[in-house]
Amino acid sequence: MAILTGNVKSARVVTGEYKTGKRQGEDWEFLALEIIDAVTGFTWSCQLASEDGSYIEVTRGDLVGHKVRCKVASQSAGLRTLPDGREVMQIRSQVRKLEDMGEVSATE
């Protein structure tokens, strides 16, 4: 597992329903985040599952503009359709134990 520390560029709750498989018909929910890596400046597309112990705490407020730290548990890649219809390959990082470290100061 790797540790990611960075600033939250965007955050939104995503919900849906399983269409197939053993959990068909059940609801799912996760927090989708774009985190700007404090060291490299690279933007990570992250997902925090609603089952994670930190989920309730971090979804209570607005994380945009906050510094966070989390554990990267796994990654996957797949096509994403942009609003203009183009398809691009996107890496998604599943994260755990997201910690809100407060608002980013003007010097960071």
List pLDDT tens digits, range 12-59: 999 999 899 998 999 999 999 999 998 999 999 999 999 999 999 999
Residues listed for the chain: 108
CA 55 to chain centre: 11
CA distance 56 to 92: 21
Residue 106 has pLDDT above 80, yes or no: no
Run of H or E including 20: none
Per the listing, tokens 């942009």 go with 82
Residue 108: its pLDDT value, please? 61
Cα atoms in the Cβ-side hemisphere of radius 13 Å centred on 21: 6
